[in-house]
Structure 1
Amino acid sequence: MNPAELKAVVEYMESERGVEREVIIKAIESALQSATEKTGFEDDDLRIEINRKTFEMKAYKTLSDGTEIESTPRSLGRIAAQTAKQVIMQKIRSAEKEIIFEEYKDRVGEIVTGSVVRFDRSDVIIELEHGEAVMPSKERVPTEEYEVGERVRAIILAVRERERGPEIVLSRNNPDFVRRLFELEVSEISDGTMEIKGIARESGYRSKVAVISHDERVDPVGACVGMRGMRVKNIVRELSGEKIDIVRWSEDIHTLITNALAPARLKHVEADEDTQTVTVTVEPDQLSLAIGKRGQNARLTSKLTGWRVDIQKDEESMDFEERVAVAVTKLAAIEGIGDEFADKLVFSGFLTLEGILAAELGDLSSIEGISADQAKSIWYAAEAAYIKEHGEITE
């Protein structure tokens, strides 16, 4: 390996791989040092040095008085060509890995753009500006398909050091991807005027984003939607058509639930702080809208607020058959009553816990299919369920 060849290698690695020139030269010197030691020269204390300007390789021997004299073996170039290249590339690859890790380790949470280069089973391998990243199967959006060569935006979820090199993990499925898109698109969020308080997402289908404004002059929902809806349209386009519900945040759970379930009109909202459960009552024509397709609206509202959401029809608006069905369902859910006795009780006029507790055991045992012992068990089951729901029974 002559100086011209060595210079070409260094310049290529510097320009194409982004590795600093000094790092490369030191790696080559170390490789040559290793190669000469393995070859078994008479002088086993040679120091190899590469001239930074001419790229000429020289070896120096250390004398007993500590001074050095040049002692370059004639075969140094041949040794370098035969044994040093592999070690050089290993050290350069190591330097490249370190550079990639240093570049991306502090960029977790940032959105980057890359090109799909291949697939490893269902994982997507994406070429970034420097190095490769992986989007694991679980971080893909289930409704999206990717092709080799396609440009993809994703959030950096994690950067980990691995023996084979840094692992950069990307995600388009994580709710933080939606958060970062809003921060990039809505200037009022990035400058702190507004804040995203929570995100509930079923990627590929729908997300609910709760926002609050710290400036009363700024409408948080309007700012996210943008002029003619352009801001939210840009985000929806990036998310391949995923629907976005922008929810006005409130510390009051009743107001927050009402906002989150919009456009459904709610008749009554009752919150139980102890169980973190919200019971929502709606008119019959609003029930399917409040619950959403396959329960999605209610499910996302629960994720967004952190409360269990129970949506039910207003009993006053129900016809007789609907009331009977609701009563059967409620009694059947009580341990000790179940489906076996719920139908018999309801069709005998016992629609509620209060009704059962007000009855005499003889009234219950007179129902066809219910024995005296079963009547007693039903009464005690109703008593336990009532106490659990309302506290001790008072006369």
Structure 2
Amino acid sequence: MNTEILTAVKELEKEKGISAEILFEALEAALLSAYRRNFGSLQNARVIVDRQTGDFKVYSQRTVVEEVTDPRLEISLEEARKIDPRYQVGDVIEKEVTPRNFGRIAAQTAKQVVVQRIREAERNIVYEEFASREGDIVTGIVQRVEQKNVYISLGRTEAILTPPEQMPGEEYRPGNRIKTYVVEVRKTTKGPQILVSRTHPGLLKRLLELEVPELQEGLVELKAIAREAGYRSKIAVYSREEKLDPVGACVGPKGARIQAIVNELNGEKIDVIKWNPDPSKFVAAALSPAKVVAVEIWEEEKIARVIVPDYQLSLAIGKEGQNARLAAKLTGWKIDIKSESQMQEIYAQEYREYYGDDSVL
């Protein structure tokens, strides 16, 4: 059995990546449990497995005391000093008590415990590996779809893509390779549970960082993201380098960089906007592709009234209000969009309220 133990430990360390020391400790705990269960021992004991030979021995442990109350756990100072005169109160005396037939019984009873500890060690390794990747992109292969949840193989473990994290209209077929964003890694009794997303704004952020070297190098800064997954996104970028165009860097030569991200996100439209410290200019840019005539700002309320040409009103608002909604998310401002003709009416009304008539108009 000794050589079997050493061989098993070496193989598991090599194949599973579990340290030999963790396995030896698991084995010692299992053998101690087996000893207590099979030999009815209520005394303190410990099992040592020799790391070089695989030999194992059981030792009883008794604490040196002035007056013994439980001889299974304690030994008097007088008796201890008969063994070695240097013993003091509080010392622990060990004595080998390995049963003759312990090897066979231990092998049988410890097996399940060792397997369980190995599983736990594997789960911890996987958990630590992926816990450090929260907020990052992982690439996996779609394994199956169960109850609308998509299970993605990441090698040694699986990730779960739940319905709220799935992009509208996207099909997940077994065998398809897919990039997802790690939202959370949880520890459970069945091992680590990795929750991923295709709709999280972080997915777009990480894809941009992968495609745009200037973002990785810090030459371009990603100021804000607003995303409605599967439909449209807006990103605001900025560069302190006057000669560097942050929008051009993100779009890439002939739009290659942004197109690669659009393809990864199944045709999701992406508006790249230059961030501006001036709120009125930033709000105007955020409503792209609509052209803006003027922006009125109420700083305290964080409200912006945007005036656009009549023919640009529907474009500024967008389908079902999407363009205006994304611009508001991106800038953090409440945006009220008015056409030029609407503003003329508003100004006329304000004039009448102030002067009492519109004779001057």
Query: For this structure pair, what is the TM-score category when the shorter chain's length is used for normalisation?
Result: 0.7 to 0.9
TM-superposed deviation, 1:41: 5.7
SS across alignment from 2:293: strand
What's the counterpart of residue 8 of structure 2? 9
TM-score (norm 2): 0.80
In structure 1, the partner of 2:111 is 85
Confirm or deny: 8 A CA contact 1:43 1:61 kept in the other structure. Answer: no
Measured against aligned partners, the alpha-carbon deviations of 1:113-132 in whole angstroms (never above 9, x if no partner) come to: 22333445333333324433
1:176 CA drift (Å): 1.4
| Aligned Cα root-mean-square deviation (Å) | 3.0
Match of 2:49 in 1: 50
Quote how far apart the aligned CAs of 1:5 are: 3.8
Which structure has more relative contact order (CA 8 Å, sep 6+)? It is 2
Contact 1:298 1:309 in 2 (8 A): yes
Letter in 1 for 2:198: R
* Alpha-carbon distance in 1 for matches of 2:42, 2:183: 52
* Offset, 1:11: 3.6
Structure 2 distance, partners of 1:6, 1:311, is 75
Matches of 2:199 and 2:161 in 1, distance apart? Answer: 10
Aligned mates of 1:267, 1:210 — CA distance in 2 = 21
Q: Distance in 2 between the 1:248 and 1:42 partners?
A: 75
Asked whether the equivalents of residues 201 and 208 of structure 1 are also in contact (C-alpha less than 8 Å), the reply is yes
1:203: Cα distance to partner? 0.6
**Would the aligned equivalents of 1:283 and 1:317 in 2 still touch at CA under 8 Å?**
no
Residue 140 of structure 1 is aligned with which of 152, 161, 166? 166
CA contact (8 A) 1:111 1:154 kept: yes
* Among candidates 198, 214, 231, match of residue 240 of structure 2: 214
1:186 aligns with 2:212: yes
Question: CA 1:136–1:269 in structure 2 vs 1: closer, same or farther (change >3 Å)?
Answer: same
Alignment of 1:1-395 (within 5 A): 2-40=1-39, 47-60=46-59, 65=83, 71-315=97-341, 352=349, 355=352
Distance in 2 of aligned mates of 1:270 and 1:356: 20
Aligned AA (2:116): Q
Q: Which residue of 1 aligns with 2:69?
A: none
Query: Are 2:36 and 2:42, in contact at CA under 8 Å, matched by a contact in 1?
Result: no
Q: Distance in 2 between matches of 1:46 and 1:281?
A: 83
Tell me how far apart the structure 2 counterparts of residues 84 and 272 of structure 1 sit (CA, whole Å).
73
Which has the larger displacement, 124-133 or 90-99? 124-133
Structure-2 residue corresponding to 1:385 = none
Q: Using the alignment, how far apart are the partners of 1:78 and 1:182 within structure 2? A: 60
Change (3 A) 1:285 1:88: same
Percent identity, aligned pairs only, is 43
Alpha-carbon separation, structure 2, partners of 1:352 and 1:261: 27
CA distance in structure 2 between the aligned counterparts of 1:80 and 1:21, rounded to whole angstroms: 19
Residue of structure 1 in register with 2:66 after alignment:
none
CA–CA distance in 2 between the matches of 1:182 and 1:274?
33
Structure 1 residues 19 and 269: alpha-carbon distance in aligned structure 2, compared to 1, 3 A threshold = same
Shift of 1:140: 2.2
The structure with more strand, counted as a fraction of residues: 2
> In 2, Cα distance between the equivalents of 1:127 and 1:16?
19
**Which is worse superposed, 257-266 or 209-218?**
257-266
Give the superposition deviation at 1:12: 4.0
Q: Which whole-Å CA distance do the structure 2 matches of 1:281 and 1:255 have between them?
A: 13
1:48, 1:58 within 8 Å by CA — same for their partners in 2?
yes
Gaps of 5+ in 2: 63-79, 84-91
Structure 1 distance, partners of 2:216, 2:343, is 47
Residues 99-143 of structure 1: per-residue CA shift (max 9 Å, x gap): 233323333222122233344533333332443333333222223
What SS does structure 1 have at the residue aligned with 2:209? helix
For residue 86 of structure 1, report the CA deviation from its aligned partner. Answer: 1.5
Closer, same or farther: CA 353–61 of 1 in aligned 2, 3 Å:
closer
Q: Secondary structure at the match of 1:275?
A: coil
Q: How many residues align?
A: 330
1:286 aligned counterpart, secondary structure: helix
Cα displacement string for residues 227-255 of structure 1 (whole angstroms, at most 9, x for unaligned residues):
22221112112212211110011011221
SS at match of 1:161: strand
For normalisation by structure 1, the TM-score amounts to 0.74
Return the offset for 1:211.
0.2
Distance in 2 of aligned mates of 1:243 and 1:42? 71
Q: Deviations over 1:341-364 (max 9, x none)?
A: xxxxxxxxxx9476578889xxxx
Range 268-277 or range 157-166, more displaced = 157-166
- Whole-Å Cα distance in 1 between the matches of residues 354 and 243 of structure 2? 56
The code of the aligned residue for 1:38 comes to R
